[in-house]
Structure 1
Amino acid sequence: MSIQARTTRITVPEIRARKGGEPIVCLTAYTTPMAQRLDPHVDLFIIGDSLGMVLYGFESTLPVTLDMMIAHGAAVRRGSQRACLTVDMPFASYQESPGVAFRSAARLMVEAGCSSVKIEGGREMAETIAFLTDRGIPVMGHVGLVPQSVNSLGGYRARGRDDAQADEILADARAVADAGAFSIVLEGIVEPLAREITEAVDVPTIGIGASPACDGQVLVTEDLTGLFGDFTPKFVKRYAELGEAIGEAAAAYAEDVRARRFPGPEHCFGAGKNSGRG
């Protein structure tokens, strides 16, 4: 049965087995209605802590809480039936120790019903990744531009432009793969380095602002549909301008209300008929 026709959820081992094969299609999702519309077309949902910026208007992902990730992860699960589900572990939910990370990840797995969790960081997170995977929690890694460390990185700049930084990111990716991660997000990495990492590790890489050579690609759905902000990052291709369409619909509605064209008789109960009153 083709992956498009299936109705059972794609598993972590299936994603892992896609290394070097058919590219993995991945998008973010945060709500049930969006998941319902995307699910037939994607292999993997990342319920990202980017929801803090996209849905809640935070300036970064740092204020996002574990409870928020659980709520949105569960919403996406209710709206999907075939895509593999990965939920971001938010800032401060895993960095303290492997034990803290396990308790946070266990809540996500049980309460959100996800297939796996995602952890940002490289060599410093290898012990934690191994701790989780040894205890039955699948982990997706995330190296390069790691938004939870934006303050220490000095902003949202592409990574790996000089040899020293490129060597560090390559070492991070290798450490994450060796620790047992089933895949790795490569974010904001110069193209030659992302290509080199993809060739160097034996697990699938998921690119966002990385390389077409990655084993899969992910974008924030609101970026590709024009629903988030006026700025379009270089790595985003806009496939629709739904934000403009929503604004136009709201403007038309407001005009109709002010002109008393809405609601019309067709939108009212008993209009033009004997309503039994009077």
Structure 2
Amino acid sequence: MSIIKNDFEKMNVTKIKNFKNNKKLTMITAYDALFAKLFEEIADMILVGDSLNMSFAGKPDTLSATLEQMIYHTNAVCTGAPKAFTILDMPFGTYINKDEALTNAIKVYQKTNAAAIKIEGGEDRAHIVEHLTSNSIAVMGHIGLMPQYVRSEGGYKVRGKTIEDTEQLVRDAIAIEKAGAFAIVVEGVMSEAAKKITEAISIPTIGIGAGKVTDGQVLVWSDMLGFFEDFKPKFVRHYMKGAQEVKEAINQYRNDVQEASFPAKEEEY
């Protein structure tokens, strides 16, 4: 299978917005330089997600991720994939009001080469998005199931199951677009509701657990590549059996060491 590469020299906010109704956007998470380099020439966008707190640090949720952690990992990603359109996921507690949000966003821009930031929230956070975008910060929104709301919502709950909730999600999306966001992640939303959201706004929607009606998709790399074994979310498709293949490779390495077949003569100095 041939590898299709994207021209990241030209990828920017304007180009991403122009994907609407033209071509599906592909976004994937990355947390380090090694994997970011592998993704750079294929994915349209790389998200340094606060999901790293779970998949990388082994925590039960995203809430304890810090801005310092996000900056560290974003710098690693930007080093490995310098041409990629990289987005930093603003962690919980870093945008509780518009002034603090701007201070932290400026810190992100000054300390990393991130092209944009992402924040969770709808109508309630629109004034914060507007404050950021009016001060030259590129913002990706995030509505629907929002991981940073897990404790206040009492768990991870699929949204858009009722007419009322769908209407609220549409209002959220419209408010975030009006505030200046260039795209919106729509997570854990019934596909019919995601369709209504996507049709209601003129900026791209990036789905995760929101069906195929959105303008693009995002997945956590360790989910997509089958490295996470505890459970498989319904919306995840495994594109390889990562955990199994790594275990088999390490097992072979151990056997080769024990049998003294590694290193071979050609692997010696």
Give the structure-1-normalised TM-score: 0.91
1:57 is matched with: 58
Q: Deviations over 1:206-264 (max 9, x none)?
A: 00011212111111111110112331111111111121111011111222223333334
Q: Deviations over 1:82-116 (max 9, x none)?
A: 33111100001111x11100111111112121011
- Displacement of 1:25 after TM fit? 1.1
Q: Deviations over 1:106-133 (max 9, x none)?
A: 1111212101100001111101000000
Tell me if 1:103 matches 2:99: no
Structure label with greater radius of gyration? 1
* Distance in 2 of aligned mates of 1:48 and 1:9: 23
Q: How many residues align?
A: 266
Contact conserved, 2:208 with 2:218, CA < 8 A, in 1? yes
* Distance in 2 of aligned mates of 1:159 and 1:6: 35
Contact conserved, 1:145 with 1:158, CA < 8 A, in 2? yes
Give the structure-2-normalised TM-score: 0.94
2:202 is matched with: 202
The 3-state SS of whatever aligns with 1:143 is strand
Q: Map 1:124-139 onto structure 2 (within 5 A).
A: 124-139=124-139
* Distance in 2 of aligned mates of 1:147 and 1:67: 19
* Distance in 1 of aligned mates of 2:118 and 2:164: 26
The amino acid across from 1:110 in the alignment is Q
Contact conserved, 2:8 with 2:41, CA < 8 A, in 1? no
Q: Map 1:205-224 onto structure 2 (within 5 A).
A: 205-224=205-224
Contact conserved, 1:146 with 1:187, CA < 8 A, in 2? yes
2:94 is matched with: 93
2:75 is matched with: 74
Residues 48, 7 of structure 1: alpha-carbon distance in 2 compared, 3 angstrom cutoff: closer
Q: Map 1:27-38 onto structure 2 (within 5 A).
A: 27-38=28-39
Tell me if 1:243 matches 2:243: yes
Contact conserved, 1:9 with 1:84, CA < 8 A, in 2? no
- Displacement of 1:11 after TM fit? 0.7
2:40 is matched with: 39
Contact conserved, 1:133 with 1:180, CA < 8 A, in 2? yes
Contact conserved, 2:132 with 2:138, CA < 8 A, in 1? yes
Residues 199, 7 of structure 1: alpha-carbon distance in 2 compared, 3 angstrom cutoff: closer
* Distance in 1 of aligned mates of 2:25 and 2:84: 11
Tell me if 1:176 matches 2:192: no
Residues 5, 60 of structure 1: alpha-carbon distance in 2 compared, 3 angstrom cutoff: closer
* Distance in 1 of aligned mates of 2:212 and 2:110: 34
Runs (4+) of structure 1 exceeding 4 A deviation are none
Contact conserved, 2:6 with 2:42, CA < 8 A, in 1? no
1:272 is matched with: none
1:273 is matched with: none
Q: What is the alpha-carbon root mean square deviation over aligned residues?
A: 1.5
The amino acid across from 2:48 in the alignment is I
Residues 5, 213 of structure 1: alpha-carbon distance in 2 compared, 3 angstrom cutoff: closer
Contact conserved, 1:45 with 1:84, CA < 8 A, in 2? yes
1:275 is matched with: none
The 3-state SS of whatever aligns with 2:40 is helix
Q: Deviations over 1:18-41 (max 9, x none)?
A: 111111111111111101111111
Q: Pick which of 226-235 and 30-39 moved more.
A: 226-235
* Distance in 2 of aligned mates of 1:119 and 1:6: 26
Structure 2 segments unaligned to the other structure (5+ residues): none
1:263 is matched with: 263
1:226 is matched with: 226
The amino acid across from 1:171 in the alignment is R
